[in-house]
Chain A
Amino acid sequence: DAGVIQSPRHEVTEMGQEVTLRCKPISGHDYLFWYRQTMMRGLELLIYFNNNVPIDDSGMPEDRFSAKMPNASFSTLKIQPSEPRDSAVYFCASSLAGSGGRTYEQYFGPGTRLTVT
């Protein structure tokens, strides 16, 4: 398996523009997670899906952020309009469900480095 695939790897955009980040999880994984990593705030969970359904979006910072998972092999994180403070590395991760409610290892993608000028 190729692992979790994210695109683009780098994105530079101007303030006010729409940004769409893409993720392809590992085939067969039940869970998909979107994280944001910054120097100031560390690694933050934004939202996660189970079987394509959003379970917890309490980490999504504002209404400007939205995430979708139209099928088991694809998810998007959209920022509209983007702002300079959205500059960060965005990671997608996927995992299998564990028995008894425990999750297995999360497999992370290489991340998308977003710069908003």
Chain B
Amino acid sequence: GEDVEQSLFLSVREGDSSVINCTYTDSSSTYLYWYKQEPGAGLQLLTYIFSNMDMKQDQRLTVLLNKKDKHLSLRIADTQTGDSAIYFCAETEDSGTYKYIFGTGTRLKVLA
């Protein structure tokens, strides 16, 4: 079945860049998403990328997609303490199932 994998933890210093990585197995993935979960809250969509794109930039966020290696990354420039959260990668395919496959989540800790 489909699988989405992420590393569990990442620690960076305030002002540095953070790179959160994700690998997926489903070659028919059409949309790939990054969600952010702050403590005690639900998930919030940060950004998404279509499978026919290689890169998407949105302010401090850059998403890179390598379809050949089935690798997705989220880069956060000038990381701030408010970026500390769990980041989830998710994918869905264009089969009409409407189901997301979520990764395990990466806990980002930003050190002041």
- Using a CB–CB cutoff of 8 Å, the interface residues on chain A facing chain B are 4, 31, 42-43, 45, 48, 50, 55-56, 91, 93, 95, 97, 100-103, 105-111
Partner of B44, one of A50, A55, A97, A108: A108
Interface residues of B, dominant DSSP: loop
Partner of A55, one of B48, B98, B104: B98
- B95's closest neighbor in chain A, by CB? A101
Partner of A45, one of B40, B43, B44, B100: B100
Task: Name the interface size band of chain B.
Answer: 20 to 34
CB A50 to nearest CB in B, in angstroms, measures: 7
Query: Quick check: A102 and B99 within 8 Å, CB to CB?
Result: no
Kindly list chain A residues whose C-beta atoms are within 8 Å of the C-beta of B84: none
- Using a CB–CB cutoff of 8 Å, the interface residues on chain B facing chain A are 30-31, 33, 40-45, 48, 88, 92, 94-100, 102-105
Known A42-B105, A93-B42, A110-B42; contact A105-B96, beta-carbon cutoff 8 A = no
List 14 extra interface pairs beyond A101-B94, A105-B48, CB under 8 A: A31-B98, A43-B88, A43-B102, A43-B105, A45-B100, A55-B98, A91-B42, A97-B98, A100-B94, A101-B96, A106-B45, A108-B42, A108-B43, A110-B42
